[in-house]
Amino acid sequence: AQSVSQHNHHVILSEAASLELGCNYSYGGTVNLFWYVQYPGQHLQLLLKYFSGDPLVKGIKGFEAEFIKSKFSFNLRKPSVQWSDTAEYFCAVNPSRGGSTLGRLYFGRGTQLTVWP
């Protein structure tokens, strides 16, 4: 079955540590890729997105992600995390080939990031 995989379920870091969260998907063809963040008690917010062009995309709050087509991956990175980055991070994929995938955003199971001050 086609899916979105986030291998890290819970990541615990100290402030100033570097972060990389993995995301792999199994959809062929062209895809639109997203990372959303959900802070405790808050709604899903868009961190960044990739549609086409430069595979290294920069988002809000110092986050960036790299699309590697050959690896079907879209990993999220941040050079130095802060306590305020503690949240749940969701990778999401929209296979942009129309038909039955129209409007469908497939989410990974999420990664809980805990940053200790």
- Residue partners of 84: CB distance under 8 A and separation at least 6: 115
Listed residue (106, 60, 114) closest to 88, CA to CA: 114
Closest approach of another protein to the CB of residue 110, in Å: 6
Cβ distance to another protein smaller for residue 43 or 117: 43
Which residues touch 96 (CB under 8 Å, ≥6 apart)?
Answer: 29, 30, 31, 32
In the shown chain, the binding pattern of residues 68 to 107 toward another protein, with x for contact by CB under 8 A and - for none, equals: --------------------x-x---x-xxx---xxxx-x
Residues at the contact surface with another protein, assessed by CB under 8 A: 32, 34, 36, 42-46, 49, 51-52, 88, 90, 94, 96-98, 102-105, 107-110, 112
